[in-house]
Structure 1
Amino acid sequence: MLNQVEVAKQRWGGANNTIDGWLLGRKQLLIQYCELAGVNYQRRESLPDANEVSEFCTLLMDYLSAGHFEVYEMLVGDDTTGQQLKQRLYPLIAATTDQALDFNDSYADNFHPDHAMEFEQSIAKLGEALVERFELEDELIQHMHGLVQQPVTE
């Protein structure tokens, strides 16, 4: 997943400050996700503590909010292709948002080590949703990037 963020940053970085900040937020989210899930680390002997989970949930909600309220409309534009892309992708993105909100509702303020098995399953499911979401968001970024690159003809 982190490689995917780096590819997106290399491909589209510098085109727009808002997108750059959003991709940085994605990277920070993924780093914390990997730490919580034990990805790319030797398997934890113990679960994360409640503060780590709460901090991750805050980052997750900030990232989701930025996408929905600051970035997506900028990415699709008013052109026909952008509007078609919006109609196709937004419901799929909304499904990943629902999964992330479910995770947040379950663990932001209620994380308890007694529910270790449930947490492991939930964090894995969230990871799958994030991978899907990032791929969908990258399609939106690609659309904007394509529009920026097109020459204006009069």
Structure 2
Amino acid sequence: MLESCQNAQERWGGVHKLIDRWLLERNELIKAYDALGAEPGAFSEKRVPLQDFCGTLVDYVSAGHFEIYEQLTSEAKAFNDQRGLELADTIYPRIDVITEKLLAFNDLCDQGECVAEKFKELGGLLHERFELEDCLIEVLHNAHKEQVEEEV
């Protein structure tokens, strides 16, 4: 998972400072996930790291929904990028479903009911979300890059 995050950062790192910061947050989220996943079943002994992970998770999800997706959609509208807007209409509902599951995991942890099997499910959800986000960024960035080059 960490390698795909680094690849995304290399591809779009300079696109927008907001996205740069978000990709760094993604990297921190992956590191925190990997650190906790190294010893499955040890959640009771790792309460503080698990709380830190959940905080990072909620921050990442919130940034996506309240900053990044809004920015990408605004850019697509500004560039009259119908393909990007159609892709967003297709991808956002799935991201919303994943977000609900991620936040439900956080709620379980807040209630002290977090278990290793739910944590492992979280890895697959994060992986899918990252792929969807990468697709959205790639389509919007490439469309805008081509339009800017045509204008020059």
TM-score of the two chains, using structure 1 as the length reference: 0.86
Q: Tell me which residue corresponds to 1:15.
A: 15
- The answer (yes or no) to whether the contact 2:41–2:116 under 8 Å persists in 1 is no
Are 2:20 and 1:60 equivalent residues in the alignment? no
Alpha carbons of structure 1 residues 149 and 6: separation in structure 2 relative to 1, 3 Å: same
Tell me the amino acid that sits aligned with residue 137 of structure 1: E
Q: Tell me which residue corresponds to 1:97.
A: 99
Tell me the amino acid that sits aligned with residue 68 of structure 1: H
1:46 Cα deviation from its structure 2 partner? 3.5
Are 2:122 and 1:126 equivalent residues in the alignment? yes
- The answer (yes or no) to whether the contact 2:41–2:115 under 8 Å persists in 1 is no
Secondary structure of residue in 2 paired with 1:99: helix
Measured in 2, the distance between the counterparts of 1:86 and 1:121 equals: 31
1:147 Cα deviation from its structure 2 partner? 2.5
1:7 Cα deviation from its structure 2 partner? 0.5
Secondary structure of residue in 2 paired with 1:137: helix
Count residues in correspondence. Answer: 144
Spell out the pairing of 1:72-87 with structure 2 (5 A cutoff): 72-76=69-73, 77-78=76-77, 79-87=81-89
Measured in 2, the distance between the counterparts of 1:103 and 1:44 equals: 16
Alpha carbons of structure 1 residues 46 and 124: separation in structure 2 relative to 1, 3 Å: closer
Spell out the pairing of 1:19-38 with structure 2 (5 A cutoff): 19-38=19-38
Cα deviation 1:11-34 (Å, max 9, x = unaligned): 111121111000000000000011
Percent identical among aligned pairs is 38
Decide which moves more: 61-70 or 50-59.
Answer: 50-59
Measured in 1, the distance between the counterparts of 2:41 and 2:7 equals: 32
Cα deviation 1:39-61 (Å, max 9, x = unaligned): xxxx4683342211111111101
Secondary structure of residue in 2 paired with 1:49: helix
In the alignment, structure 2 segments of 5+ residues that lack a partner are none
Tell me the amino acid that sits aligned with residue 91 of structure 1: P
TM-score of the two chains, using structure 2 as the length reference: 0.87
Are 2:111 and 1:110 equivalent residues in the alignment? yes
